[in-house]
Amino acid sequence: MENNSKIYVAGHRGLVGSAIMRKLESKEYSNLIYRTHKELDLTDQKAVNDFFEQEKPDYVFLAAAKVGGILANSTYPAEFIYDNLMIETNVIHAAYKNNVKKLLFLGSSCIYPKHAPQPMKEEYLLTGELEPTNEAYAIAKIAGIKLCKYYNQQYGTNFISVMPTNLYGPNDNFDLKTSHVLPALIRKFHEAKINKEPEVVVWGTGKPRREFLHVDDMADACVYLMENFDAQEIGEFVNVGVGEDISISELAEIIKKIFGFEGEIVYNNSRPDGTPQKLLDVTRLNELGWNPKISLENGIKNTYRWYMDIKHD
């Protein structure tokens, strides 16, 4: 990518999209284009086609998606599969029709089978049943990977796919009904501390293990791959993570310590745990020359500062 290349970031106000915008701006890419959902509904095929024909972007970061945690995925599966399928299909096809030089599609680590061997290698895709609580979302993301693969195969496009592990950071979702585990715990511990509550209730047993990557590291990896590698070098897709995981109970203890919360942590065993472990094998990414820079503790502190800033705006 050149500094004056026209770069479209789809989903620029979301967790990943906003981080990609920050990264591109810090590297002095000066021709960034984007639209809010109100300005451009990516599930509307005609609107997407009109936008691409008018703007003719050179590069596309497809970070737009309907996302949520266990509760949201379980409650709205039809919306999760429909919206994500439509977004991917419309943007990827329009990118092909309008000769986009390179597109990067963001998937999710939930594409892997529920009981995949750990850590999860890229070749484990479609080797077993998915986690039921987010199957609809996972199927949509798998479809996006395959769209990129087959457009490359049939049309000679240069569409690459990346599979991030659990992400967190500025612009995360802190709504307890729809958020992922880390931002939910940040909010719970914050509110428990200021309200002097005796305990924080954590969903599930605390035993599931998860890997967490700061979204600024994710953005750095995305831009690095777009700048340096083509689809045939990356393969069907590449995992993006840190290669280490911790249990939910360990995560809760870290956040408790950072916040200085003196109450108890209580586990609600009636709530679902989800997948027992989700750890990505990041060997391929490391071989491509990229490694994360932000530690989990520093990343949580950074995210909490952002959360406090928006609460006081």
Binding-site residues, in ranges, read 11-17, 106-109, 141, 164-167, 180, 188, 203, 210, 273
3-class SS at 125?
coil
Which candidate in 59, 137, 151, 168 is catalytic?
137
* Helix, strand, or coil (residue 128): coil
Q: Amino acid identity of 138?
A: A
Query: Smallest Cα–Cα separation from 66: which of 130, 159, 136?
Result: 136
Helix H or strand E segment including 140 = helix 135-155
**Binding-site residue ranges for NADP(+):** 11-17, 106-109, 141, 164-167, 180
N residues, the chain: 313
Tokens matching residue 195: 């309200």
**CA angle, 28 then 31 then 32, to 5°:** 95
Phi, psi of 202 (to 5 degrees): -110, 135
The one-letter amino acid code at 267 reads Y
Other CB atoms within 10 Å distance of the CB of residue 63: 25
The one-letter amino acid code at 58 reads D
Query: What DSSP line would sit under 19-41, residue for residue?
Result: HHHHHHHHTT---EE---TTT--
Dig out the tokens for 104 from the structure. 């990067």
- The CA distances from residue 92 to 56, 147, 153, 259, 267, in Å, are 13, 8, 14, 43, 42
Show binding-site residues for substrate: 188, 203, 210, 273
Amino acid at 222: C
**Which residues fall within 8 angstroms of residue 67, CB to CB, at 6 or more apart?**
14, 15, 137, 173
Is 224 among the catalytic positions?
no
Residue 235 φ/ψ region, left for φ over 0, alpha for ψ in the -120 to 50 degree band, beta for the rest: left
Taking the C-alpha atoms of residue 217 and residue 169, their distance in angstroms, rounded to an integer, is 10
Catalytic positions, written as ranges: 137
